[in-house]
């Protein structure tokens, strides 16, 4: 495990972000699959395999979100 994830505060933050991703994936899967039971099964499997097996992956969507919010201006200023 990475030394960054040894901190209890960071560990709790990873757990909260994983729950957020679980709800996000569940709502998406419910729309796509049409079944709530199948959607919760899909969401639990994806979140478990992704974020509890490899806990450092929880930070990638956070980084993408921050880049999407704060990095738009940087990409617009680059010459084409």
pLDDT by position in tens, the chain (length 80): 445 556 777 778 888 888 898 999 999 999 999 899 999 999 999 988 887 788 788 888 888 888 888 877 776 776 76
pTM comes to 0.68
For residue 59, what are the CA distances in angstroms to 18, 56, 72, 73? 10, 6, 19, 22
Q: CA torsion sign, 15 to 17 to 20 to 26?
A: negative
């Amino acid at each position: 495990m990475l030394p960054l994830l040894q901190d209890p505060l960071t560990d709790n933050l990873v757990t909260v972000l994983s729950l957020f991703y679980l709800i996000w994936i569940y709502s998406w899967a419910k729309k796509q699959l049409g079944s709530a039971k199948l959607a919760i099964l899909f969401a639990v499997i994806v979140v478990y395999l992704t974020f509890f097996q490899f806990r450092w992956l929880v930070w990638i969507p956070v980084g993408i979100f921050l880049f999407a919010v704060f990095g738009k201006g940087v990409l617009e200023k680059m010459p084409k």
